[in-house]
């Protein structure tokens, strides 16, 4: 029996137009919390309308005023719990002039959907919801529990996921719907540490800078070179490329004729599986102490805004094996295992619950960039794989 026939025989049938329509509808809702505070609530309402039509019960979790998450639970408690999760919020669009397609248009062109969140990760949310719909329509009897959650605030430090875990949500295996591409499973994520750094100087007239202490100059010439040089030993099999630390922001001063007395910088450190944020922070502290010894007049303070540990799931775990079988059935090829350079809800779930936590979702690395996109066929293929995983993980197929 060919793959397509096997999939159809299991009652797995994803309507491409339906899943693309839901993904496009989500893209059209701006869910950038800093710019559109009501966006996540509108996205939850959009999902609710679809679920109501299918008579699938769901809960709305009010995490912060006007900023909810949505949770669907299916099956029973006779077997293990498999948890699918995607996030509704997105980063801003950046410079509109760099976009050829409407950022919140959800336009479909030649089989691709364009817009902010298409790949990260509204396409994944749409595929996940349609897996739930497919299971409901097929009348699948799940010997265990399924959770499908669409959370707020992931881009701001996993706010929505922290809320669900704090209220006691648990599972035996976790799938993030963040992009991996159809034929790959991300079994690891990097960890992250966001550091705020503030230098304090003394203001003076711009024509007499010697009478002041320039906080911007101290930040740029002394502090940042030292902190950007902080490194931890990289793992030999490190899957990530690019800088270990990103200087994300520097702000100081107001006008040209005043010596600035304060400067603030944001640094984004990324660490690989096998490393710990505690070790990184110890190295940062050493660097700051050394600066103070070398420059006794320097006034510098640091504050950790966010820290998330890296995560890695055993490639031999049942979750990876069963999902791999589902992917091979959908694509005809065994999956490739890899590590993601970013950080996501899977990190937090793995750290808190100690369960296998991976990422598998439609899309590509266009997230956070202009003209973000996802292939409609990828939405369909991933929704099929999710459905097969749910059936096979619980022994229903």
Q: What is the largest CA-CA distance in the chain?
A: 84
pLDDT per residue as tens digits for the range 303-320: 999 999 999 999 999 999
Per the DSSP assignment, residues forming a β-bridge with 194 are 268, 306
- pLDDT computed for residue 395 by the predictor: 72
Q: What is the pLDDT of residue 5?
A: 66
Q: What is the mean pLDDT of residues 31-54?
A: 97
Q: Given this model, what pLDDT does residue 1 score?
A: 37
Per-residue pLDDT averaged across 211-232, rounded? 94
Q: What is the pLDDT of residues 64-122, one digit of tens each?
A: 999 999 999 999 888 899 999 999 999 999 999 999 999 999 999 999 999 999 999 99
| Residues paired with residue 87 on neighbouring β-strands, in sequence order | 151
Looking at residue 3, its pLDDT comes to 65
Tell me, what's the pLDDT at 13? 81
Q: Which domains does the chain have, with CATH numbers?
A: 3-189+310-393 (3.40.630.10), 191-308 (3.30.70.360)
The β-bridge relationship of strands 191-200 and 262-271 is: antiparallel
- Label residue 234 by pLDDT band (50, 70, 90): low
Burial per residue of 42-53, b for 16 or more beta-carbon CB atoms within 10 angstroms, e otherwise: ebbebbeebbee
4: tokens are 């397509």
Segment of 5-9, 75-79, 372-376 carrying the highest mean pLDDT: 372-376
CA distance 166 to 348: 11
Reported as half-sphere exposure (CB side, CA atoms, 13 A), residue 391 has a value of 23
Q: What is the mean pLDDT of residues 174-193?
A: 95
Model pLDDT, residue 384: 95
Of 302 and 273, more confident: 302
Mean pLDDT of 137-151: 92
Q: Is the pLDDT of residue 240 over 80?
A: no
| 9 pLDDT above the threshold of 80 | no
């Amino acid at each position: 029996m060919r793959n397509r026939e096997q999939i159809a025989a299991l009652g797995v049938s994803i309507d491409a137009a339906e899943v693309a329509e839901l993904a496009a509808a989500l893209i059209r809702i701006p869910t950038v919390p800093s710019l559109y505070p009501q966006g996540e609530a509108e996205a939850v309402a959009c999902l609710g309308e679809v679920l109501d039509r299918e008579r699938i019960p769901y809960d709305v979790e009010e995490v912060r005023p006007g900023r909810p998450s949505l949770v669907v639970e299916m099956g029973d408690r006779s077997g293990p719990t498999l948890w699918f999760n995607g996030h509704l919020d997105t980063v801003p669009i950046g410079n509109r002039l760099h976009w050829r397609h409407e950022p919140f248009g959800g336009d479909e062109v030649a089989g691709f959907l364009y817009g902010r969140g298409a790949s990260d990760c509204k396409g994944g949310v749409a595929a996940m919801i349609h897996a739930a719909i497919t299971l409901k329509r097929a009348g699948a009897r799940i010997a265990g529990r399924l959770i499908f959650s669409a959370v707020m605030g992931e881009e701001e430090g996993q706010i929505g996921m922290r809320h669900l875990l704090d209220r006691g949500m648990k599972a035996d295996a976790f799938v993030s719907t963040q992009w991996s591409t159809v034929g790959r499973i991300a079994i690891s994520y990097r960890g992250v540490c966001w550091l705020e750094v503030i230098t304090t100087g003394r203001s003076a007239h711009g024509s007499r800078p010697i009478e002041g202490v320039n906080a911007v100059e101290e930040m740029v010439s002394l502090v940042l070179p030292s902190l950007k040089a902080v490194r931890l030993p990289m793992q030999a099999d490190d899957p990530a490329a690019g800088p270990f630390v990103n200087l994300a922001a520097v702000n100081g001063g107001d006008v040209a004729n005043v010596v600035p007395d304060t400067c603030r910088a944001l640094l984004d450190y990324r660490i690989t599986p096998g490393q710990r944020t505690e070790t990184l922070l110890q190295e940062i502290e050493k660097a700051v102490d050394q600066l103070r010894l070398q420059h006794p007049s320097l006034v510098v303070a640091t504050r950790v805004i966010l820290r998330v540990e890296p995560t890695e799931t055993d490639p031999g775990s049942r979750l990876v094996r069963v999902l791999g079988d589902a992917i091979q059935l959908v694509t005809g090829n065994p999956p490739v295992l890899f590590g993601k350079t970013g950080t996501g809800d899977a990190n937090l779930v793995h750290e808190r619950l100690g369960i296998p936590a991976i990422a598998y979702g439609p899309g590509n690395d266009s997230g956070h960039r202009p003209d973000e996109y996802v292939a409609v066929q990828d939405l369909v293929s991933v929704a099929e794989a999710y459905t097969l995983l749910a059936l096979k993980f619980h022994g229903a197929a």
